[in-house]
Amino acid sequence: MNNAEAASIRHDWQREEALALFDMPFNDLLFRAQSVHRRYFDPNEVQLSTLLSIKTGACPEDCKYCPQSGHYNTGLEKEKLLEVDKVIEEARAARDSGASRFCMGAAWRSPRDRDMPQVLRMIREVKSLGLETCMTLGMLTENQAAQLSKAGLDYYNHNLDTSPEYYGEIITTRTFQDRLDTLANVRSAGMKVCAGGIIGMGEGEKDRAGLLVQLANLSPQPESVPINMLVKIQGTPLENEKDVDPFDFIRTIAVARIMMPASHVRLSAGREEMNDQMQALAFLAGANSIFYCEKLLTTPNPQANNDMTLFQRLGIRPEQRAVTEDSEDQEAALLRKVGEAQTDGQFYNAAG
């Protein structure tokens, strides 16, 4: 990013401005988002990350969308914190199938002191495989953030979820300010920030605008902005929420792209329910990152080969990290995957 591009990133967005973007005719909005996208990114590259749940279920928080909350009975099998060796094995497999970033998620309110040594080892080991590291472990104190950063953690994910006004409808066990405090601790420890939200929880357009204003006005803006579409899980209070209009979801991606031009906007949870056409529109609107694995924490994710088939049909390349010996291996693995997708028609799901 050159100086002019950096200088044109704004942190003074008003909700009315964001709403005006949402209200643009769809074609105009997509054209504007794609034009912004091309100034900051190669429009035919998408970053691939892989996500592993390192500790599943029994979370004390009450996020109404989450199957991992101990407040709801979703039939999810709980698991203890994974052994480091298991995490290394999964990270190696992710790297060999083309991921450049490995994200590790634990269903905690915040990490306990006694878990920290194991978590820090995971970071060091995964990093030594040549992968970028990301974790999501709940709220962090300044001291915890500093420890993670020192171990080499590149990114920390902590979503704002929705607007400050709608937040209380979704979570009561921690406040919106708690979330902002964690993000501030992550930033001051020198890590990159991954923060986004969820669409389809009954919020209105003004809440979607409010969420994006909060994210865009963080200074610096988050490097990664996951935009999730609610996955309705039986047993959670949001199991019967109305479906999101796919065009409203694409609009949210486009507005995020315009307001946060240099951030990776990630098409995240809910991708399983999006057909190829919707995903292609999301890329056109400026999404340039996906999770690439069979499971997204606890919900199914489209099979990796379907992703590669879609990339090939759209002429999209996986984004590469700076060239190292490892990334040369990574490139070879990716090219192999794309080749397999080209020749193996059975992985293409015409309904997908």
Angle, helices 84-96 vs 116-128, to 10°: value is 30
Provide the residue type at 11 as one letter. H
Residues forming a β-bridge with 319: none
* Active-site residue, 103 included: yes
**Should residue 302 be labelled a site residue for ligand SF4 when binding is judged by CB under 6 A?**
no
List the one residue from 53, 69, 185, 221 that touches ligand SF4 (CB under 6 A): 69
Residue 307, both tokens: 């992703």
Q: What is the smallest separation between the CB atom of 42 and ligand SF4, expressed in angstroms?
A: 32
Q: Choose one: 55-63, 123-131, 202-210, 336-344; the region binding ligand SF4 (CB under 6 A).
A: 55-63
Q: What is the smallest separation between the CB atom of 65 and ligand SF4, expressed in angstroms?
A: 7
**Should residue 197 be labelled a site residue for ligand SF4 when binding is judged by CB under 6 A?**
no
Q: Choose one: 59-67, 228-236, 242-250, 324-332; the region binding ligand SF4 (CB under 6 A).
A: 59-67
Residue 241, both tokens: 């929420």
For the four alpha carbons of 66, 70, 76 and 81, in that order, the dihedral sign comes to: positive
* Active-site residue, 293 included: no
Cis previous bond, 220, omega within 30: yes
Query: Rounded to 5 degrees, what angle do the CA atoms 150, 95, 127 make?
Result: 10
**Should residue 63 be labelled a site residue for ligand SF4 when binding is judged by CB under 6 A?**
yes
List the one residue from 61, 132, 154, 207 that touches ligand SF4 (CB under 6 A): 61
The Cα 281–Cα 28 span in angstroms is: 14
- Each residue 107-146 as x (binds ligand SF4 by CB under 6 A) or -, in order, gives x------------------------------x--------
**Should residue 157 be labelled a site residue for ligand SF4 when binding is judged by CB under 6 A?**
no
**Should residue 66 be labelled a site residue for ligand SF4 when binding is judged by CB under 6 A?**
yes
* Burial class of residue 200 in the structure, from the number of CB atoms within 10 Å of its CB (0-12 exposed, 13-18 middle, 19+ buried): buried
Q: What is the smallest separation between the CB atom of 141 and ligand SF4, expressed in angstroms?
A: 16
The Cα 57–Cα 43 span in angstroms is: 37
* Active-site residue, 266 included: yes
